[in-house]
Amino acid sequence: MTEHNGFLHKIPFLLDLGVRCNRMEAGQSEIELDLLERHQNSWDMAHGGVLMTMLDVAMAIAGRSTDPEGRGVVTIEMKSSFMAPGRGNKLTARGTCVHRTSTMAFCEAEIVDPQGKTVARGSGTFKFIKRSPPRRTAGTADTGADG
């Protein structure tokens, strides 16, 4: 596990999925996922939801890496395009922050298979957030509001 995986392992969904972060610096990111049967659809290729998650996470990490305050981000909007089946033993997603303001990061990402073939591309807008993630207690729900 690299030093960048610390915050990923605070997100139960990403921990369960098996996403690993290899790079998070200067508006760039790289994550990878060992493609297992549980990640596949009925066509024996990566499920679209897995690919969209990888795109989202790669872009979010790239955006976060540009913030000197170390704030987190939330996805405001995202577009995904699927180009080829996600097959092989590992998928790699690379994200780039192409522009940022004091409150937003505009990012792009690409997923490649082990042969370097582009599987999917995405773009998204992310809002920097000041608050800490909610500390959930039984019977309460997070409103999602900054406060």
H/E stretch holding 63 reads helix 48-64
Q: How far apart are CA 37 and CA 69, in angstroms?
A: 39
pLDDT tens-digit profile of 44-89? 999 999 999 999 999 999 999 999 999 999 999 999 999 999 999 9
Q: What's the alpha-carbon Rg for the chain, to the nearest Å?
A: 15
70 versus 142: the higher-pLDDT residue is: 70
Longest dimension (CA), the chain: 47
Higher pLDDT, 145 or 20: 20
For all residues of the chain together, what is the average pLDDT?
A: 90
* pLDDT of amino acid 144: 53
- pTM for the model stands at 0.88
Domains of the chain and CATH, by start:
5-129 (3.10.129.10)
